[in-house]
């Protein structure tokens, strides 16, 4: 049973690495299913063979963090947003617990590194396709990468997240290369792989990850030198020389090879004018709404719009994330959430350093061997964790399933690094082990259930969106109906279904069919706004449906709610003008259109805008005036 759990775990990690590379859950559900099955199988064998005892303090801090985030997600105002954080949290908790228990042996943990190396090879191959011009490459047929060309992404939509993944793999591989008990040929292959990973990082042109790599590299060098100084002191000077030559030479060569790309990135988006500063102000403004517990899971989806910095460029798109995991945690989960994250990370890092001290003080004098898989993973894990903590100050890769799961695995490695000593024996907390097993069972069962129920609904909705884009309206509406029936609490599906119904309306429709379609759309959009009253686009779509149904007073109220949620945006102001325009209240429509032209956030180029609608208004008023003049002339001639 334990080996079966290990197989499911490694399969779940591999599938998550292939598909769980973006923020939406659609492609993460298969990984959730496999990880959930791994957790269920592990708990079925209640007493797992654990060679080393984990730190109970690490387990306690992780349980406290997971419990708080889970509770806050459960009580968040928008269920579908909280579900995204909830799925990632459950997968991370299962991965953490399995790393601490079922995968506690070092030889099995090297299997994790092997899976990561296979994923690295796949990502670099996909990055090569990007570099050859297929910037929209996506692993799943029918879908495409939406990030702008010029920076490789591999299986990831965002190149910054590929850089974070490669950073994880590079440090773990470096630890294995230097300290694990492997053949010299394997060390050479790992060295070549690390250079390839660093080259991939440079091709992502991610500046923040370079800071993380620098911080993690310093930690890796210091820990490596310290452990060699404490164990094999005659090798110290040779290790220093090798690190200087190899590290300096490889770093200089990689930087020189990609100097032009970095220079161009700096010219296009200078650090001093980076949009992140405006996004951070919005995150701090949302944090002020609920400083202690936060507004709710992933509520920055809406907070980034409502609290948008007025000084940001009018053409800058909406930011769904704070581009800083620490500010995102403060905005969504408050000071309590951030404090629990800091506490958990510090406790795990200290336990990892405690293992290194034990290895130098007890393990090495007993065995006389520096080569150790546990030592390799501990040094590589600490360095990778430091690198990602620095990178997280500027990015949101903890919201990407695969990078979040790898982060949880790193914490699991440090919670149970392999200490076997009476002197360094961990303290036990009564009842904690049983509580952790129960929590593992709940988390794993929830992953399996969510993947089956919500994953199927998401699959129906994805098929509907593809069919809609191909003009297969009837099939798309049928699949949307299946999706919303299976997942009635999903505001996003209700909104998409309502929009698809409105888009299906044609001028040659029978009156009864038209009324039924409008009524169905009105019902879905009303449900969407009830499930998520914080999205201004939902209210604007509802206003369109209400106007079509003749409910003009209700439509005006919906537009006003959208104006309150997005006070700086052109879209709700334009919708106000269009509402008055439909009612032929041309004076109020003109005022609204001109007001839309003063918005701080303009609609994207090529979409509907206030100028085109204002010109149409002027054309219609001119025609009306001409008709009135013609009518007066006819009246005068009749007299």
**Domain ranges (residues) in the chain:** 56-72+113-417, 569-639
Give the list of residues 6+ apart from residue 462 with CB closer than 8 angstroms, or none: 26
Question: Among the listed ranges 30-39, 339-348, 615-624, which one has the minimum average pLDDT value?
Answer: 615-624
> pLDDT at position 566, please?
96
- Inform me whether the pLDDT recorded for 250 exceeds 70: no
State whether the Cα torsion 113-114-115-118 is positive or negative.
positive
pTM of the predicted model as reported, rounded to 2 decimal places: 0.93
- Inform me whether the pLDDT recorded for 281 exceeds 60: yes
> pLDDT at position 177, please?
92
Please, which pLDDT band fits residue 423 given cuts at 50, 70 and 90? low
> pLDDT at position 557, please?
97
As a whole number, mean pLDDT of residues 407-427 equals 84
The angle formed by the CA atoms of residues 302, 303 and 304, to the nearest 5 degrees, is 90
Cα–Cα distance, 252 to 246 (Å, whole number): 10
Element (H, E) at 313: none
Report which DSSP code applies to 157.
S
As a whole number, mean pLDDT of residues 24-45 equals 94
Cα–Cα distance, 415 to 13 (Å, whole number): 19
Cα–Cα distance, 237 to 221 (Å, whole number): 13
Question: Whose CA is closest to 231, among 178, 195, 183?
Answer: 178
| CA distance to 401, 545, 632, per residue, from 12 (Å) | 11, 43, 78
Please, which pLDDT band fits residue 429 given cuts at 50, 70 and 90? confident
- Inform me whether the pLDDT recorded for 273 exceeds 80: no
Please, which pLDDT band fits residue 269 given cuts at 50, 70 and 90? low
> pLDDT at position 420, please?
78
Torsions phi, psi of 569, nearest 5?
Answer: -95, 150
Please, how many CA atoms are within 13 Å of residue 104, restricted to the half-sphere of its CB? 20
Cα–Cα distance, 582 to 559 (Å, whole number): 14
Question: Whose CA is closest to 535, among 574, 489, 596, 492?
Answer: 492
Alpha helix segments (H runs only) across 243-313: 248-257, 259-268, 276-289, 300-306
Residue showing tokens 């850089």: 163
Cα–Cα distance, 59 to 538 (Å, whole number): 42
3-state secondary structure of 146: coil
> pLDDT at position 371, please?
82
- Inform me whether the pLDDT recorded for 51 exceeds 80: no
- Inform me whether the pLDDT recorded for 355 exceeds 90: yes
Cα–Cα distance, 562 to 573 (Å, whole number): 9
Question: Among the listed ranges 119-133, 403-417, 505-519, which one has the minimum average pLDDT value?
Answer: 505-519
- Inform me whether the pLDDT recorded for 267 exceeds 60: no
Residue showing tokens 């899976």: 115
Cα–Cα distance, 337 to 320 (Å, whole number): 19
Cα–Cα distance, 547 to 543 (Å, whole number): 6
8 A C-beta contact, residue 224 and residue 239:
yes
> pLDDT at position 301, please?
95
Please, which pLDDT band fits residue 405 given cuts at 50, 70 and 90? very high
Cα–Cα distance, 436 to 194 (Å, whole number): 36
As a whole number, mean pLDDT of residues 253-267 equals 57
- Inform me whether the pLDDT recorded for 574 exceeds 60: yes
Q: Give, to the nearest 10 degrees, the angle between helix 491-503 and helix 79-100.
A: 140
- Inform me whether the pLDDT recorded for 509 exceeds 90: no
- Inform me whether the pLDDT recorded for 265 exceeds 70: no
The pair of three-digit structure tokens given for residue 122, joined into one six-digit string = 């796949």
Torsion of CA 330, 319, 138, 122, to 10 degrees: -40
Question: Among the listed ranges 30-34, 412-416, 423-427, 525-529, which one has the minimum average pLDDT value?
Answer: 423-427
As a whole number, mean pLDDT of residues 162-184 equals 93
- Inform me whether the pLDDT recorded for 27 exceeds 70: yes
pLDDT digits (tens, 9 = 90+) for 210-239: 899 999 999 999 999 999 888 888 877 777
- Inform me whether the pLDDT recorded for 240 exceeds 80: no
In terms of Cβ atoms closer than 10 Å to its own Cβ (0-12, 13-18, 19+), residue 44 is exposed
Please, which pLDDT band fits residue 248 given cuts at 50, 70 and 90? low
pLDDT digits (tens, 9 = 90+) for 110-151: 999 999 999 999 999 999 999 888 999 999 988 999 898 889
> pLDDT at position 419, please?
81
> pLDDT at position 261, please?
58
Cα–Cα distance, 18 to 27 (Å, whole number): 9
Cα–Cα distance, 291 to 11 (Å, whole number): 40
As a whole number, mean pLDDT of residues 60-76 equals 96
Cα–Cα distance, 615 to 206 (Å, whole number): 43
> pLDDT at position 316, please?
80
As a whole number, mean pLDDT of residues 385-395 equals 96
Question: For the chain, what is the mean pLDDT?
Answer: 90
- Inform me whether the pLDDT recorded for 245 exceeds 80: no
- Inform me whether the pLDDT recorded for 87 exceeds 70: yes
Give the list of residues 6+ apart from residue 465 with CB closer than 8 angstroms, or none: 476, 496
Residue showing tokens 């296009």: 268
- Inform me whether the pLDDT recorded for 282 exceeds 90: yes
pLDDT digits (tens, 9 = 90+) for 435-459: 999 999 999 999 999 999 999 999 9
Cα–Cα distance, 88 to 85 (Å, whole number): 5
> pLDDT at position 366, please?
82
Question: Whose CA is closest to 96, among 21, 40, 44, 35?
Answer: 35
Question: Among the listed ranges 334-348, 389-403, 506-520, which one has the minimum average pLDDT value?
Answer: 506-520
Q: How many other CB atoms are there within 10 angstroms of residue 205's CB atom?
A: 21
Please, which pLDDT band fits residue 364 given cuts at 50, 70 and 90? confident
> pLDDT at position 207, please?
84
- Inform me whether the pLDDT recorded for 293 exceeds 80: yes
């Amino acid at each position: 049973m334990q080996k079966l759990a290990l197989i499911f775990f490694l399969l779940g990690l591999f599938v998550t690495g292939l598909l769980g590379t973006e923020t939406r859950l659609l492609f993460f559900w298969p990984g959730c299913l496999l990880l959930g099955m791994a957790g269920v199988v592990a708990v079925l064998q209640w007493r797992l063979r654990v060679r080393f005892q984990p730190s109970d303090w690490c387990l306690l801090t992780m349980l406290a963090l997971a419990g708080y985030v889970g509770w806050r997600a459960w009580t968040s105002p928008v269920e579908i947003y909280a579900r995204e954080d909830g799925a990632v949290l459950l997968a991370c908790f299962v991965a953490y617990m399995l790393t601490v228990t079922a995968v506690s042996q070092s030889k099995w943990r090297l299997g994790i590194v092997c899976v990561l190396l296979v994923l690295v090879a796949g990502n670099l191959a996909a990055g090569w396709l990007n570099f050859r011009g297929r910037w929209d490459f996506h692993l799943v047929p029918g879908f495409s990468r939406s990030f702008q060309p010029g920076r490789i992404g591999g299986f990831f939509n965002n190149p910054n997240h590929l850089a974070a993944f490669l950073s994880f793999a590079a440090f773990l591989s470096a630890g294995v290369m230097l300290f694990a008990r492997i053949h010299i040929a394997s060390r050479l292959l790992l060295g070549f792989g690390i250079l390839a990973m660093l080259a991939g990082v440079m091709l992502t042109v991610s500046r923040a990850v370079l800071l993380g790599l620098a911080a993690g590299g310093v930690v890796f060098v210091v820990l490596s030198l310290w452990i060699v100084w404490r164990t094999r002191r005659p090798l110290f000077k040779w290790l220093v020389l090798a690190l200087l030559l190899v590290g300096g030479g490889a770093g200089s060569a990689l930087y020189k090879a990609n100097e032009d790309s970095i220079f161009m990135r700096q010219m296009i988006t200078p650090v001093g004018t980076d949009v992140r500063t405006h996004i951070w102000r919005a995150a701090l403004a949302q944090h002020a709404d609920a400083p202690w517990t936060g507004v709710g899971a992933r509520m920055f989806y809406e907070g980034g719009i409502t609290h948008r910095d007025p000084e940001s460029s009018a053409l800058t798109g909406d930011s769904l994330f704070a581009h800083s995991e620490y500010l995102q945690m403060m905005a969504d989960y408050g000071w309590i959430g951030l404090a629990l994250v800091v506490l958990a990370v510090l406790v795990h890092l200290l336990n990892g350093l405690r293992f290194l001290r034990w290895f130098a003080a007890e393990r090495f004098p007993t065995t006389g061997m520096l080569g150790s898989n546990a030592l390799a993973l501990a040094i590589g894990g600490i360095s990778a964790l430091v690198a990602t903590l620095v990178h997280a100050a500027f990015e949101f890769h903890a919201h990407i399933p695969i990078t979040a799961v790898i982060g949880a695995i790193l914490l699991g490695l440090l919670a149970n690094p392999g200490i076997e000593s009476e002197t360094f024996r961990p303290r036990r907390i009564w009842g904690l082990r049983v509580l952790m097993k129960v929590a593992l069972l709940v988390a794993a069962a929830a992953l399996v259930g969510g993947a089956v129920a919500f994953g199927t609904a998401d699959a129906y909705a994805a098929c509907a969106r593809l069919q809609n884009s191909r003009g297969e309206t009837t099939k798309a509406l049928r699949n949307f109906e299946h999706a919303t029936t299976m997942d009635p609490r999903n505001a996003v599906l209700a909104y998409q279904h309502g929009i698809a119904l409105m888009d299906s309306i044609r001028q040659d429709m029978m009156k009864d069919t038209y009324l039924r379609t409008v009524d169905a759309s009105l019902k879905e959009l009303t449900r969407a706004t009830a499930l998520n009253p914080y999205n201004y686009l939902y209210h604007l779509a509802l206003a369109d449906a209400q106007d079509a149904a003749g409910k003009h007073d209700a439509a005006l109220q919906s537009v006003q709610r959208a104006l309150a949620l997005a006070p700086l945006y052109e879209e709700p102001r334009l919708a106000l003008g269009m509402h008055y325009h439909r009612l032929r209240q041309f004076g109020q429509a003109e005022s609204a259109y001109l007001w839309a032209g003063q918005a701080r956030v303009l609609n994207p180029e090529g979409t509907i805008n206030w100028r085109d609608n204002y010109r149409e208004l002027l054309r219609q008023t001119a025609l009306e005036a001409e008709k009135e003049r013609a009518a007066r002339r006819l009246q005068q001639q009749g007299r």
